[in-house]
């Protein structure tokens, strides 16, 4: 019974898997007889068809995403995916036809068709023009602060500079604020991934993560030396002094 159900489902999905493309010919027999009015009328009709096909193509993409994800659980659903891309191929053919009609209009009417030829490129330009300009990226931002730790450990301090997605800085595990580890890493979407390299075997070398919220960065980790220390930092935006100075 289950096999019969799967066969029926597969048959139904195959019927929805997409139609065969029917691209329009770039040149057609009636082209030799077309005057300016006929060219203009076809350009308008093709513009409308391109819009309709664009909507169809968008729906097919959404269908493929949904069916593809569901197919991970029920592989037979993959029969419902549209691999023919009929709408996309037809749009491409219509665009070529539109360009040919524009050439005919220039030859026979002395100008391009009065109705703009719609193309994917033109739509992309219009969308780009309508999109808000990206906010300018800010320059490097430096954060500094003392950390809290266990009673048997010296007071730590840290300074980090974020420049785009790159992070660099220094860690001090000494009360004198002498740099003991260099820090490199990356920042993205408020998350920091940091790599520490100690200046000697007694200083922290390892990985840690942090979070950036507003004007602060929070980081917590445990060192792996003999006298392991638990560090917790809440770094704040600082001035433009050098990293070594900012540790103090």
- Chain segment 97-132, per-residue pLDDT in tens: 888 888 888 887 865 554 454 544 444 333 333 434
Residue linked to tokens 């005057």: 35
Partners of residue 145 on adjacent β-strands: 158
Would you state the pLDDT for residue 248?
59
Residue 13: both structure tokens together: 């999905």
Would you state the pLDDT for residue 233?
93
Would you state the pLDDT for residue 113?
52
- Tell me: pLDDT of 223 over 90: no
CA 90 to chain centroid: 28
pTM for the full model? 0.44
Residue linked to tokens 């010919």: 25
Q: What is d(CA 182, CA 41) in angstroms, rounded to the nearest whole number? A: 70
C-alpha Rg value of the chain to the nearest Å = 32
- Chain segment 49-95, per-residue pLDDT in tens: 888 877 766 655 555 444 444 444 444 444 445 556 777 788 888 88
- Chain segment 128-186, per-residue pLDDT in tens: 334 344 334 457 889 999 999 988 889 999 999 999 899 999 999 888 888 999 999 99
């Amino acid at each position: 019974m289950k096999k019969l159900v799967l066969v029926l489902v597969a048959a139904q999905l195959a019927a929805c898997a997409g139609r065969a493309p029917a691209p329009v010919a770039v040149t057609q027999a009636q082209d030799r007889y077309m005057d300016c009015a006929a060219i203009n009328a076809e350009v308008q009709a093709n513009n409308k068809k391109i819009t309709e096909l664009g909507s169809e193509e968008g729906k097919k993409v959404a269908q493929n995403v949904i069916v593809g994800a569901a197919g991970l659980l029920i592989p037979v659903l993959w029969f419902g995916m549209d691999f023919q891309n009929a709408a996309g191929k037809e749009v491409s053919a219509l665009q070529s036809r539109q360009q040919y009609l524009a050439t005919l209009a220039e030859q026979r009417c002395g100008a391009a068709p009065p109705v703009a030829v719609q193309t994917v490129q033109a739509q992309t330009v219009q969308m780009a023009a309508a999109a808000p300009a990206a906010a300018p990226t800010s320059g490097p931002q430096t954060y500094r602060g003392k950390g809290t730790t266990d009673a048997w450990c010296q007071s730590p301090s840290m300074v980090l500079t974020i420049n785009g997605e790159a992070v660099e800085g220094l860690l001090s595990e000494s009360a004198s604020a002498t740099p003991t580890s260099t820090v490199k890493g990356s920042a993205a979407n408020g998350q920091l991934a940091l790599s520490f390299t100690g200046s000697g075997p007694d200083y922290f070398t390892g990985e840690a993560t942090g979070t950036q919220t507003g004007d602060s960065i929070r980081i917590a980790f445990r060192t792996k030396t003999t006298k392991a220390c638990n560090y917790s930092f809440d770094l704040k935006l600082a001035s433009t002094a050098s990293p070594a100075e900012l540790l103090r």
